[in-house]
Structure 1
Amino acid sequence: MGRTSSILVCGLLAALVVTGLLFSAEQAPPKNENEPSAAATERTRKTVRMLDDVYKTAVVLITDKYVNDENDFPAGSAAIALFSAVEKKGWHGVRLLDVTGKPYDDKNVAKDEFEKQGVRQLKDGKDYYEQIIEKDGKPYLRAMTPVPVVMQKCVMCHPHYGDAKKGAAIGAISYTLPIE
């Protein structure tokens, strides 16, 4: 075999090895069998964004159309009832939290380290906080989004919101969704 043939054979072998390594790297399973794929994680983030938009839109519409004085059923209470029903049906976990330090109800405070860190992040101006956790052997996305004062009617039941800076988080919604 001539020198040119040897170089050609070595080059082909090297190309096959590199191709094999690239193919096996693309097909490699996650490091941890419970680790979610990037696509599944992104789908779950998209679901959180959709739910966040739906829930916040519902609260604004309820407040706008049905809350006219302090005796009316507060939209925040309606949201908490909705969140409870969603969780009881097994869809996902969702909680309304106070971030002002003056909760309307003591149940609305951050309960665990994720929520406490999320409150700090949102108070510092972040518009989203998340963490991927494992629960019962399955991956979950925990996420938090801020709730600012968007209507003057909010101050009717929460007078201390009147001092809030425009766009500042006075509350948060905490989500726990399975990554599938």
Structure 2
Amino acid sequence: MKLKYSLSALVLAAAAGAATAEDDPAVARTVEQVKMLDALYKTAVVLITEHYVENPSSISAATASKLLFAEMKKNGFHEVRLLGLTDQLTNPEENTPTGNFEETAKEKLLAGEEYYKRVVNEGGKRYLYMATGIPVVMEKCVMCHANFKDKTGPIGALAYKVPVIE
């Protein structure tokens, strides 16, 4: 099986996906922060899969990532959710897109957009919501996602909620 993406291509896609800056400098700074987080998390998923996932009974990179995401939220840094973008979800109770932002992000990402973002006001504070796609990027991915071995688009997404850096 020939995969379309490499680790470096995935990281570059994560960085390029958010390259359009808003006119608002605070939003542009926050977009840059999310680009960095996206590249970091996606690199971690690939490295965990490459070096630690040996068989389907190993802890998955998705499970390890969710633990990392929970720590970031617990410490008040930002929120990240792993979303499934297909109708075949391993954990539908956890990974089904919910709410208008995630449902719209799913539509946009499956339609070929590299990212989807929105700035919202909550409790007098601005937040950047941003979602980026996750494709199958390596042979080991199909150990758990065998039904997507020939899929070229995203099968999942990372959905971020990050305070706008004023």
Structure 2 residue 120 is matched with structure 1 residue 133:
yes
Counterpart in the other structure of 1:117: 104
Corresponding residue of 2:142? 155
Deviation at 1:85, TM superposition (A): 1.1
- Structure 1 stretches of 4+ with a deviation exceeding 4 A read none
Q: Secondary structure at the match of 1:152?
A: coil
Whichever residue aligns with residue 60 of structure 1, its letter is V
More helix by share: 1
1:90 to 70, 76, 83: 76
Q: C-alpha offsets along residues 83-107 of structure 1, whole Å, 9 cap, x if unaligned?
A: 1111111100100110012111011
Counterpart secondary structure, 2:149: helix
Unmatched tracts of structure 1, length 5 or more? 1-35
- How many residue pairs were aligned? 143
Moved more, 69-78 or 52-61: 69-78
2:65 pairs, out of 73, 79, 84, with 79
TM-score by length of structure 1 reads 0.77
Q: 2:30 maps to which residue?
A: 44
Secondary structure at 2:86 match in 1: coil
Distance 2:123 2:87 in 1: 32
Which of structures 1 and 2 has the bigger CA Rg? 1
Percent of matched pairs sharing the same residue: 41
Q: Shift of residue 163 of structure 1?
A: 3.6
**What is the aligned-residue RMSD (CA, Å)?**
1.3
**Relative contact order (alpha carbons < 8 A, sep ≥ 6): 1 or 2 greater?**
2
Give the alignment partner of residue 66 of structure 1, picking from 27, 52, 57: 52
Aligned counterpart, 2:164: 179
